[in-house]
A and B are shown apart, each in its own frame.
Chain A
């Protein structure tokens, strides 16, 4: 009787790793060298950050200790996380931040996709701004130049993302329009903004915009910075969308035309849904870019997370322990950025054409 042949069992990932790591003499050597270095780095980091570290809030103790001084972070945590927001009112930015993160988290769930999720985020943004500025229901008014820290970073990022999406879509469509003047205006705007660094746009908002507007319109610096972030983000996002629109073949709109869909219906029902799926990966990295770009507002004297970190380190008593503070702030950016990456991957899988 013929023997049944089973397909070979694929090796487990541990086996595959081990085999690949010690495939040849050269690879084994590399592996050993890298492992040694890795162990050394991890050991050093452990000794510095945990074993020798101090957690007491006393710079005297820190000066005599070879390890990390986490007390510096503990001492400065309020100024790093909330900036110069008045003492005793700290619950307001924290509550606003929780509201905003909650709304964004809910809107990211498929069951709230569409206008419901959008309205939740917009409502959270409005409540956040109201909480920060105060002046109603017994809340003391707080000037916007005292806002700061992580809540401000989140506020500016979410605001820039939400407002730049419709603007970018209009610009992308305008750049592909048949009408020459519309096309020139949109192309000119996109290329001009993309041609200069963000800091130039922020300087424009800080120094030129007040000159260009009537004296009675004195907009708050925070408003101007937020609008500049939107204007900057929209130009880049427009190119992302243009790429997505270009990838949709002409046959799609011709077929829609044959089905007697109007041009608006074609755009809404045929083109945009397909383009949106294609733009998930580049839009994800753009949104991480917006989050990172908000740090530049620190240069025009707005104390977001990066600005507050800089401010906290001006204190000579704790300045020597800047590495600890930078680790904490970097970790916050890293967690936010990696969550956006993970969410982008989830969307990509959800809308992939062939799910295998």
Chain B
């Protein structure tokens, strides 16, 4: 009799009819057959083209191409695995600064979107709508061509306070800097590709971030700011103490997807030759012909980055969520 006394914390699920199970089984079998067919085709096609398969190439062959920049030093003799590692690091190397700058820009633009001054509001709206409606690729290509065409050649690099700026990149004053008649070289260089990608990503993500900030501020009801006004808080205090903490709750989920999409958008580096993961995998694919494996590597790198980002943002979200009891 004990079984009848067991309390249920939710109503029991309706049992799934047998016909539905059969349909599902058929779907599963069909999917397996499809996968098997694709695998069979792949095997046949690879044999026909005399191409090998498998991930062994990652560790065995030396890549034979160089990656000029990044946190993971990489030379021609290193293997493909290290190349992919350098590529993944380069993805973060461009996405993280862009995200930081985009957040700063987005906060400024977002507050301007709800400013009391209608002139400021209108201009911010115009900028945001302009940036959001032009493809990111067009913006990346435009910034890149501006930098390569308008900045001086490396022989006549602009020089200010130890920095050298030319269309070959920005040389930082740290490490060794060597000046020759043919130009300047240094140990720490930010390439033109990196600068173009960071700039374009910052502007693009900044415009989307501005909309998130605006929605967050507007989600806090008018009564809240009126009440803080009645308590004689200044506008800035009201924003900082009353509106932002509440708006953050609304803003965190879309901000998380903005982070993810910005990381994914950094793959446009392939269009201007910045060696991030998609670019490196694309080169490896052209050299080894292992298309399936290289696509799988890209997918797993993004999978890992996505999971880590989602985990971190879930922690942040828990901190700003309403704490009841």
Interface residues of A (CB under 8 A from B): 16-17, 20-21, 23, 27, 30-31, 34-35, 38, 178-182, 185, 192, 195-200, 203-204, 207-208, 210-215, 288, 291-293, 295-296, 298-299, 306, 309-310, 313, 319-320, 322-323, 326, 329-330, 333-334, 337-338, 341
Contacts and interface: CB of A to CB of B under 8 A. Distances in A.
B278 A21 contact: no
A133 B267 CA distance: 32
A203 B138 contact: no
A179 B134 contact: no
Given A207-B295, A213-B41, A298 B137 contact: yes
Contacts of A17: 118-119
Contacts of B270: 199, 299
20 contacts: A16-B118, A17-B119, A23-B116, A27-B116, A34-B120, A179-B24, A181-B28, A196-B264, A196-B299, A197-B302, A198-B264, A203-B298, A207-B295, A296-B135, A298-B271, A309-B138, A322-B146, A334-B133, A341-B129, A341-B133
Contacts of A27: 116-117
A341 B132 CA distance: 11
B321 interface: no
Contacts of B136: 292
Contacts of A329: 138
Contacts of B23: 179
Contacts of A214: 41, 44
B123 A195 contact: no
Given A207-B291, A208-B295, A299-B270, A215 B42 contact: no
A181 B118 CA distance: 54
Nearest to A293: B135
Contact of B141 (A181, A192, A306, A341): A306
A301 B298 CA distance: 20
Given A17-B118, A21-B119, A34-B123, A199 B267 contact: yes
Contacts of A293: 135
Contact of A31 (B46, B119, B267): B119
Nearest to A199: B267
A208 B292 contact: yes
Given A211-B42, A334-B130, A313 B145 contact: yes
B299 A334 contact: no
Contacts of A182: 24, 27
Of the candidates B42, B44, B46, B141, the one having the most CB atoms from chain A within 10 angstroms of its own CB is: B141
B316 interface: no
B318 to A, nearest CB: 22
B38 interface: yes
B195 interface: no
B285 to A, nearest CB: 6
A291 B14 CA distance: 43
Given A185-B31, A200-B295, A207-B291, A20 B267 contact: no
A16 B136 CA distance: 37
A195 B299 contact: yes
A288 B208 CA distance: 13
B317 interface: no
